[in-house]
């Protein structure tokens, strides 16, 4: 069977914002876009780490507004499509209207897989305005079970008219065998475009991405040097090299990609932002093992130390609550209660 050519969606300027407390600014966006265009990447996603409208005191304030970020990217992206990540609750219809005015090409409307019915209004708005609209299933492991609940959620999105769906391993918990199972089952039942967004907590992001492609995905999210939440995303420069060694063709110009990987830490340093190379520390491994959103690891680690809790017990307690992105403020309360139970 002939496989579709891979479309790479570069999420550095959105998911990477998690790694620098959402401080990516206009200068970084400008210079990144100029260099990334040379690589021939097809899509660049821009915004706050949690997407459109998410800048806040509890989640993290961006250094610039969504409008400033999108207008800057649009100015310097001449041939590359500009995309946004929108989670209803963080974002509103007015935010989508602003994104339209800024020239966004692709509207990725997503939420945690257990809350998929919250996407209706934004998807309907995008479709009425003839926008390229993708459905995004975040925290997909929450519906990966023997009953194959994820297929019901895929069907829900398909019934809304969605033709492109991204499966997000937001916790970095999946193994290549899980990805093979998920994508094979989806492809058996639905004729849609499929994508995969990986996190590297178990060191599997690149091979999970390869497994996704080999089992029907034609869109892969990745970031330069793995820059992203927690232990980072699928590392774009490694992924393309691996694909070439597997004789899987992409349109990416690999020498330009390597140059981008070398220049990116310098660009951050110029803007007084420290580049911390993502890797799986014990907190990231525990975070994935208990099914937490990748961005939670540092907060759980911080409060478990502050409250003098056993870190494994802390991660296990948060995991039992099945918290999802956007519920960061509950981490403090859960671990404070755990501390009080310990001493009283």
Of these residues, 18, 48, 197, 199, which one is catalytic?
18
Q: Say what the pLDDT of residue 14 is.
A: 97
For residue 303, give Cα distances in angstroms to 50, 298, 299, 300, 336: 21, 9, 6, 5, 8
- Percent of the chain past pLDDT 90, that is, above it, reads 72
Cα–Cα dist 246/333, whole Å: 48
Confidence of residue 334 (pLDDT cuts 50, 70, 90): confident
Can you say whether residue 317 is alpha, beta or left, with left for phi > 0 and alpha for psi between -120 and 50 degrees?
alpha
Is residue 1 over pLDDT 60?
A: no
Q: Say what the pLDDT of residue 344 is.
A: 41
**What is the reported pTM?**
0.90
Active site includes 18? Answer: yes
210 touches 234 (CB < 8 A): no
Confidence of residue 258 (pLDDT cuts 50, 70, 90): very high
Is residue 266 over pLDDT 50?
A: yes
Rounded to an integer, the average pLDDT of 135-151 is 92
Residue-wise pLDDT for 53-99, tens only, equals: 999 988 889 999 999 999 999 999 999 999 999 999 999 999 999 99
Rounded to an integer, the average pLDDT of 89-114 is 96
Rounded to an integer, the average pLDDT of 37-50 is 97
Q: Say what the pLDDT of residue 342 is.
A: 61
Rounded to an integer, the average pLDDT of 39-63 is 94
Structural domains in the chain?
Answer: 7-270 (3.20.20.70), 282-343 (1.10.8.60)
Mean pLDDT of the chain: 92
């Amino acid at each position: 069977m002939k496989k579709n050519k891979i479309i790479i969606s570069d999420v550095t300027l959105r998911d990477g914002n998690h790694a620098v407390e959402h401080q990516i600014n206009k200068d970084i966006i400008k210079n990144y876009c100029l260099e990334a265009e040379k690589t021939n990447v097809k899509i660049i996603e821009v915004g706050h780490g949690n997407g459109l409208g998410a800048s806040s005191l509890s989640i993290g304030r961006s250094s610039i507004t969504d409008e400033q970020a999108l207008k800057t990217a649009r100015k310097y992206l001449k041939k590359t499509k500009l995309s946004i990540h929108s989670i209803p609750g963080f974002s509103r219809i007015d935010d989508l209207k602003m994104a339209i005015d800024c020239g966004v090409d692709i509207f990725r409307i997503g939420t945690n897989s257990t809350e998929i019915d919250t996407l209706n209004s934004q998807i309907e708005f995008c479709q009425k305005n003839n926008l390229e609209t993708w459905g995004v299933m975040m925290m997909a492991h929450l519906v990966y079970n023997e009953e194959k609940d994820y297929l019901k959620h895929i069907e829900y999105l398909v019934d809304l008219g969605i033709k492109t769906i991204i499966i997000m391993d937001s916790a970095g918990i999946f193994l290549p065998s899980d990805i093979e199972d998920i994508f094979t089952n989806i492809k058996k039942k639905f004729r849609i475009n499929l994508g995969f967004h990986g996190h590297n907590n178990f060191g599997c992001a690149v091979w999970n991405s390869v497994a996704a492609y080999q089992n029907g995905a034609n869109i892969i999210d990745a970031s330069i040097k793995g820059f992203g939440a927690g232990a980072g995303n699928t590392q774009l420069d490694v992924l393309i090299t691996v694909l070439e060694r597997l004789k899987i063709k992409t349109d990416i110009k690999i020498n330009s990609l390597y140059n981008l990987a070398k220049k990116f830490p310098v660009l951050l340093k110029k803007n007084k932002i420290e580049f911390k190379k993502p890797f799986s520390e014990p907190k990231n491994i525990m975070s994935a093992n208990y099914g937490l959103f990748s961005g939670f690891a540092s907060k759980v680690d911080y409060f478990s130390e502050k409250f003098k809790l056993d870190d494994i017990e802390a991660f296990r307690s948060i995991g039992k609550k099945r918290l999802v992105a956007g519920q960061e403020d509950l981490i403090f309360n859960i671990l404070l209660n755990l501390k009080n139970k310990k001493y009283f």
